[in-house]
Amino acid sequence: MKTKITELFGIEHPIIQGGMHYVGFAELASAVSNAGGLGMITGLTQRSAADLAKEIARCKTMTDKPFGVNLTFLPIVNTPDYPGYIRAIIEGGVKIVETAGNNPQKYLPALHEAGVKVIHKCTSVRHALKAQSIGCDAVSVDGFECAGHPGEDDVPNFILLPRAADELTIPFVASGGMADGRSLAAALCLGAEGINMGTRFIATQEAPVHDNVKQAIVGASELDTRLVMRSLRNTERVLRNPAVDRLIEKERALGDKLKFEDIIDEVAGVYPKIMKDGTMEAGAWSCGMVAGLIHDIPTVQELIDRIMAEATAIITQRLSGMLKG
C-alpha cells in the first residue's frame, strides 16, 4: 500500500509502532520493521544516551529496514540528557524520530540537518498545526481513545481525524483505537495516511514484556480502562486494577487538593515491575480502549499481514462493491 507516510519513511505498510515505556526495545522495533511497518525504540526507557546508542546498534543487527526512536520531552525537574539522546540518534544513523510531550522545536534543526524525519504526537488540531508550523514532517493524531496521555479535550478520532485532514498540509497517522484492518481502512477514509498502534503491539509474541501483561490486554474489554490524574492536568488512560482503584479513591477524596506526591506509590517506578516482572497490581499502566478488540497474541508478522489483508479487502471489495449496480 502506497501512502504519503510509506513514501516519507521508506516503509512497505502504513503501520507505525508507537513508543511505549519498557516495551519499545530492539526486539519489538525490529520485528515491526521486518514485517514492513515502522518500529520504534523508546528513547527514555534507556537510562542514558550511551545505553540508547547500544540499543540502536543492537536493533541494527536485527533488521536492515528503517526504524525510529521515540523521544518524549517531559516537564520534570531532573531533565534527561536530551542533547545526548539526540547525538546518539544521529550518530547511530537513525533517520526517523517520533517526538512527544513538550514542543520539540529547539531540537529540530539538528535533526533535520542530519536528514532525520520527525513525526510529533498531538492530541488536538491546534497542537498538530503548531507542530506543522515549526517544521515537523508529519504528526500522529491521538484520539481520546488512546492509551497513555489523551490530552484534555476529550475528542475521539471520528471527529479528530477529519478535523486534522481539514487543517493540515503535512501527512498524519491515526493513533488511538487502532487494532486491525478495519481500523486502517477507516483511518484512511477519514484522511489519515496510516495508523500508529501501541496497545495492539504489546499483545504480540515479540513484545519483550511479561506474559501477564499480554494476557491482561487479551482479557480486558473496552470498558476496563480508567482516566487518572485529570485534576493534575496530566490525564492518563490506564487499565483498571486495584492500584488504579486506590488512585481514583485518593483523587475523589482529595479533590482539587490532590498533589502528585499523594499518588506517587501508584504511578512512580511502576513500569519495570509490570512489564518485566509481571506484577500486575504494582500500579497504573497505560492501556487503550482498543483492548476490547484484541483477542489473541500473534507474531508481529502475522498481525501486520492480517491487517493489510483485511484493509485491502475492505477497500477493494466491500467499499467498491457498494458502488456497483
User: pLDDT digit string (tens) for 141-160?
Assistant: 999 999 999 999 999 999 99
Does some domain include residue 267? no
Assigned domain for 221 exists? no
The pTM is what? 0.97
Q: What is the per-residue pLDDT for 74?
A: 84
Confirm whether 266 is domain-assigned: no
C-alpha cell belonging to residue 158: 471520528
Mean of the per-residue pLDDT values of the chain: 97
Least Cα distance to 14 among 323, 310, 307 occurs for: 307
What DSSP string describes 192-250? -S-EEESHHHHTSTTS-S-HHHHHHHHH--TT-EEEE-TTTT--EEEE--HHHHHHHHH
What is the 3 state secondary structure string of 17-53?
ECCCCCCCCHHHHHHHHHCCCEEEEEHHHCCCHHHHH
Dump pLDDT digits (tens) for 249-303: 999 999 999 999 999 999 999 999 999 999 999 999 999 999 999 999 999 999 9
Give tens-digit pLDDT for 213-243: 999 999 999 999 999 999 999 999 999 999 9
Please report whether residue 275 resides in a domain. no
> For residue range 179-203, what is the model confidence (pLDDT) as tens digits?
999 999 999 999 999 999 999 999 9
Question: Within a domain: residue 175?
Answer: yes
**Residue 103 is part of a domain; what is its CATH number?**
3.20.20.70
Query: Is 241 a member of any domain?
Result: no
| pLDDT for 325 beyond 70 | no
Cα–Cα nearest to 102, from 132, 133, 71: 71
Percent of the chain past pLDDT 70, that is, above it, reads: 99
Q: What is the mean pLDDT of residues 90-97?
A: 98
Write the pLDDT tens digit of every residue in 13-47: 999 999 999 999 999 999 999 999 999 999 999 99
In a domain? residue 216: no
Closest Cα partner for 147 from 186, 185, 199?
A: 199
- Is residue 77 predicted with pLDDT exceeding 80? no
Any domain includes 297: no
At 163, is the pLDDT very low, low, confident or very high (cuts 50, 70, 90)? very high
Residue 59's domain comprises 4-208
Collapsing DSSP states into helix, strand and coil, what is residue 283? coil
**In the prediction, which pLDDT does 148 show?**
95
User: How many domains is the chain built from?
Assistant: 1
